[in-house]
Structure 1
Amino acid sequence: MDGLSIEVLREIFLYLKDDYSTGDLFSALMVNRRWCKIIVPILWEAPFNKQNYNKHQSKCIRTYLSNAGEKLTSVLTIHDVDLSSCSKGTIFDYASYLRHLPLLELFQYIKYYFLSPSMLADPLKQPDDDSYFKNMLVFAVLCILFTKHSTYIRTLRIVNDPDLHPLNIVVAKLLNLSGATDSLSGLQYFQCHSLSKEDISPLYKEMAGICKSIIRLDINSVIRSDEEALSSLIKAQKNLKYLTIKSDEINFIPALESIGSQSSSLIRLRLESLFLDIATDEALNSIKSCKNLRSLILRNCYELESPRVLEISTSFPLLEEFYYGGCFEMPEEFISGILKTANNNLRRLTLKDYTPGVITAIITYCKNIQELYLLELDEDDILSIFRNCTQLKHFTFNGGESVKADDLFGKMANCIPKTLEYLCIFMDLKEHWVFSSEALKDFLDIATGHSFKYLTVNHRDFIDDEEEINSSLPDYATMTTFSKEHLEVIKESKINFHTHCGYMLIEYPDFITEINIPDLRETPLFRRWYHILGQSWTERLIDS
């Protein structure tokens, strides 16, 4: 591999990068100096993305402080911040490699790094009176370090937290730091999640002047003072592709009106907690103008069947993914309009409720659907989907309670889509499907003759009496769906299998809460499915 260029080697090493482990990259950087110089920047692009805060993970703070230089660290030593474990300088300029800056995670890493041994031994012990001030001082120093040294911060995530309150004071000044114009001018992903009703408009205004290349923008709270500044930030972008707007108030309207400025580039739109019937005609027309939209997510959005809003459902002929959920109402006409308009282009569909009319729309218009997530289905619905959705690859549904499934498994086997790879069935923990190992074997014999590889059965408990459940744990959580005979059939079929009782039961380490055949969490392809189990396909798209 000595003859390969740096660019080619970097692409190879990126394949070794894993969200769950960096062990392979650490091994590779020890091979020689050339590999080390290529791999170190990869390892230090996103050191704060893992949320498993602990003393070991937080040691990157020591490295950054060693990298900060005497001018910055002198501010800390004046205020008695303990830097005794830090060295004077580093071989690499680690701060220059930073590409992803989640501010809350950064602050949590700082907290854990400076925790005393007594605090680690007793998490309930109160910290020193000045520890918060010192942590905030280190936070400010590292923000200065990153904005000065990193030439290309791609991700900035701000999630409000009591530790970072008030948000506008802690963060809004970030863009005024020396070097921020250069380091943040190429920002591609910005997330702001404010849990309190505070004014973040100064931050949006500053960003509108500096950050014009944002591709993904997630705004999880809009208050009255923010609405015009947020609208300016959206309009300032040159190529916005992914947009999330969530608001529990009526202040979302200017942001929706600004969507029209991105109509040619926007491919994913996620709207949450909005009463769309109060939107202006300009706002609704802006949404309808996004003809290139590939993904539409509507969560807790209301009044979709009011005449003005209903027109949106016929606006997206190129739509490949649609998600609807979180509401008590089921806007059948709106959803049917979405499915009819998208027609054969639709590939992924998640509905947290449905009506017979929606099922009819799915089997009539969604002939090329590949990933489908639905709530409780009866036998006829399951078989109709199997017969009509012949390109289906991944199918997740709630299987209902106390279903006698021997006959159903046989019927499913006779019409299973040849493309089906992954089947996930949610069942009641105590009133699960009842089926013989022979029926399961007959189904798997036919299914594995095509493309079928993964079977997941997750249990849920719908009993309301929590006191009764808690008093009999862990025995109450014992799974009875699969016997030894069932598991032997699954092993012989060579598929990958996962089932879970629905309870974590961390306090009972010896209790079996899940069964994996083989250990699917070690299977690279399934690890992704295991990670997003229970999430919508939309979340998988957003995470990628």
Structure 2
Amino acid sequence: MPLNSFKIVMDQKFAPEYFVTIFRFLRLKDLHSCLLVNKYWAICAVPILWEAPFKINDSFTPSPKVIQTYLVFIPDETFFELGYSKRIGLSIAKPPSFDYPSFLKEFSYDRFLNLAIANNCCKDIIVELLKIFAINDTKLRRFNTYDYLFDQHLECQDQIAPLVLPYFSECNLIFSSLTYLECIYQWPMQKVKLFNAIAQKCHSIKTLKVSVWHEDEGKVLANLISSQKHLKKFFLINSNNFASFPIQALVDQKHSLNSVTFEDMHNNHDLSETKFFNYSICDLNSDAVDVLSQCTNITKIKFKHCEGLNSPLFLPIISTFSNLISLEYSYGTHKIYDATTPIKLLSGLIKKSCNTLKRISLEWHSLDYLDITQLIKAITQRTINLEYLKIPVYTLEQLVLIHQAFNQLKKLEVH
């Protein structure tokens, strides 16, 4: 059978949804090749290619043509009204073949902003682009705002970012299907309107990653958390004492929440690489810790670069988390030492979940000898289903204890 005939027969036999399913397994370059086969294949491939043009991934650099294509949807008169002598972006010989804005599912605010500025978009044009997304019935699955900035436009972004963000409140329908929200390490600007806009229209967030620096933001974020139906994963990153507000709101998610992460809450200037960083230890109030203790379905807990965990305030969670599958704690590097390792907290969590833990990852570097023999005994003598263990070792006795007890481990790392 000739190749063209084979393609026609295949097109007729398979419904569009089957092509979409198949195409989602293809690599990006192969997906681009599908555009050249025929119109039918292009119709299936284009929406997938345009779901995540900003790609929330540090290794991916978006094409300038992404913004240029979106600019096509702004009328000529809008450019003239805003002081442009001519429209910017791609030249328009005919209307676009596809409704590209409607395909957008993953939105990285920082990369969007960088590309817009690189294409000579002023603040007002950027706001018009947001309106285009709303007009074209864009429904986001993921929204990310994070200070992953490109150096050539850094100063410009610092000025424009706080001015544009509040306009999302006028386009809040784009958040109605949101399942993933990340708003961390942010510029020193208010996010109250953004959180309010999302809370009003979105009730399906499954994963939430946030930084909290201000009281009003903490309270609004608490309202956003309470408005969700089934929050599963919560990440609190680089936050101060106002984070107690959203933590307390987790009481409304205690039946669905199964994973919590605390990250980058410390006073060590050598550990920070971001431009805007709030130096503060993990400083929750007793009400927030009490709410954490009520979230009994949590199976994964992670602490990374956090100080203050050795406070007695956190000990009540030991008696609650009895179903942990994964426990992770890390602080510093081989040149940055951990002076406040919460041995009592870690030992207590391990003992309480000894029947369910499958993964324990403990990584820190201390300047002086730290007696963790009891911690190692808690691991070796109590855990029965452990498959992965990473832990620092200070003495030969500790190393012997580990090797004698864990023949069933799939992976062991000592350092």
TM-score (norm 1): 0.61
Equivalent residue for 1:403?
none
Verify: 1:220 aligned to 2:208, yes or no: no
Q: CA deviation at 1:242?
A: 1.2
Matched letter for residue 37 of structure 1: I
The question of whether the paired residues in 1 share the 8 Å contact of 2:67 and 2:89 is answered with no
Q: CA deviation at 1:360?
A: 1.9
The question of whether the paired residues in 1 share the 8 Å contact of 2:388 and 2:412 is answered with yes
The verdict on how the C-alpha distance between 1:240 and 1:53 changes in structure 2, with shifts beyond 3 A counting, is closer
Alignment of 1:142-221 (within 5 A): 142-160=129-147, 162=155, 163-165=157-159, 167-177=161-171, 180-181=172-173, 183-221=174-212
Match of 1:106 among 112, 125, 128: 112
CA distance in 1 between partners of 2:413 and 2:211 (Å): 28
The verdict on how the C-alpha distance between 1:154 and 1:224 changes in structure 2, with shifts beyond 3 A counting, is same
Q: Percent identity?
A: 24
Alignment of 1:331-350 (within 5 A): 331-350=342-361
Match of 1:42 among 19, 44, 48: 48
3-state SS of the aligned residue for 1:27? Answer: helix
Q: Which of 6-15 and 229-238 deviates more?
A: 6-15
The verdict on how the C-alpha distance between 1:63 and 1:391 changes in structure 2, with shifts beyond 3 A counting, is farther
Q: Deviations over 1:80-125 (max 9, x none)?
A: 553364554211111111001111111222344x3xxxxxxxxxxx
Matched letter for residue 334 of structure 1: L
Q: CA deviation at 1:214?
A: 1.4
The question of whether the paired residues in 2 share the 8 Å contact of 1:371 and 1:392 is answered with yes
Alignment of 1:211-360 (within 5 A): 211-272=202-263, 273=265, 275=281, 279-326=284-331, 327-353=338-364, 355-360=372-377
The question of whether the paired residues in 2 share the 8 Å contact of 1:51 and 1:105 is answered with no
The verdict on how the C-alpha distance between 1:89 and 1:371 changes in structure 2, with shifts beyond 3 A counting, is farther
Matched letter for residue 262 of structure 1: Q
Equivalent residue for 1:364?
381
CA distance in 1 between partners of 2:175 and 2:351 (Å): 42
Q: CA deviation at 1:32?
A: 3.2
Q: CA deviation at 1:307?
A: 3.8
Q: CA deviation at 1:192?
A: 1.4
The verdict on how the C-alpha distance between 1:80 and 1:31 changes in structure 2, with shifts beyond 3 A counting, is closer
The question of whether the paired residues in 1 share the 8 Å contact of 2:123 and 2:163 is answered with no
Root-mean-square deviation (Å): 2.9
3-state SS of the aligned residue for 2:354? Answer: helix
Unaligned runs of at least 5 residues, structure 2 = 1-9, 150-154, 266-279, 332-337, 365-369
CA distance in 1 between partners of 2:81 and 2:229 (Å): 39
The question of whether the paired residues in 1 share the 8 Å contact of 2:241 and 2:285 is answered with no
CA distance in 1 between partners of 2:137 and 2:347 (Å): 48
Q: CA deviation at 1:73?
A: 5.3
The question of whether the paired residues in 2 share the 8 Å contact of 1:318 and 1:342 is answered with yes
3-state SS of the aligned residue for 1:334? Answer: helix
Matched letter for residue 346 of structure 1: L
Q: CA deviation at 1:248?
A: 4.5
3-state SS of the aligned residue for 1:108? Answer: helix
Q: Deviations over 1:373-401 (max 9, x none)?
A: 33456666556445533443344443xxx
CA distance in 2 between partners of 1:372 and 1:148 (Å): 51
Matched letter for residue 34 of structure 1: Y
3-state SS of the aligned residue for 2:213? Answer: coil
The verdict on how the C-alpha distance between 1:69 and 1:88 changes in structure 2, with shifts beyond 3 A counting, is farther
Q: Deviations over 1:144-196 (max 9, x none)?
A: 2222214321111122565144654321221213xx32x21111111112544
Q: Deviations over 1:39-87 (max 9, x none)?
A: 1111111010155676x82222222222445565555673555336455
Choose 1 or 2 for highest CA Rg: 1
The verdict on how the C-alpha distance between 1:29 and 1:365 changes in structure 2, with shifts beyond 3 A counting, is farther
Verify: 1:10 aligned to 2:39, yes or no: no
CA distance in 2 between partners of 1:46 and 1:377 (Å): 47
Equivalent residue for 1:32?
38
Give the total of aligned pairs: 370
CA distance in 1 between partners of 2:396 and 2:48 (Å): 50
Unaligned runs of at least 5 residues, structure 1 = 115-130, 399-544
Q: CA deviation at 1:7?
A: 2.4
CA distance in 2 between partners of 1:87 and 1:294 (Å): 56
Verify: 1:58 aligned to 2:53, yes or no: no
CA distance in 1 between partners of 2:353 and 2:49 (Å): 41
TM-score (norm 2): 0.79
The verdict on how the C-alpha distance between 1:250 and 1:38 changes in structure 2, with shifts beyond 3 A counting, is same
Matched letter for residue 260 of structure 2: L
3-state SS of the aligned residue for 2:262? Answer: strand
Alignment of 1:377-388 (within 5 A): 381=398, 384-388=401-405
Q: Which of 330-339 and 43-52 deviates more?
A: 43-52
3-state SS of the aligned residue for 1:101? Answer: strand
CA distance in 2 between partners of 1:14 and 1:350 (Å): 34
CA distance in 2 between partners of 1:141 and 1:64 (Å): 10
CA distance in 1 between partners of 2:222 and 2:75 (Å): 39
3-state SS of the aligned residue for 1:271? Answer: strand
Matched letter for residue 41 of structure 2: W
The verdict on how the C-alpha distance between 1:150 and 1:100 changes in structure 2, with shifts beyond 3 A counting, is farther
CA distance in 2 between partners of 1:356 and 1:111 (Å): 56
The question of whether the paired residues in 2 share the 8 Å contact of 1:66 and 1:87 is answered with no
The verdict on how the C-alpha distance between 1:385 and 1:29 changes in structure 2, with shifts beyond 3 A counting, is farther
Higher relative contact order (CA 8 A, sep 6+): 2
3-state SS of the aligned residue for 2:25? Answer: helix
Matched letter for residue 46 of structure 1: A
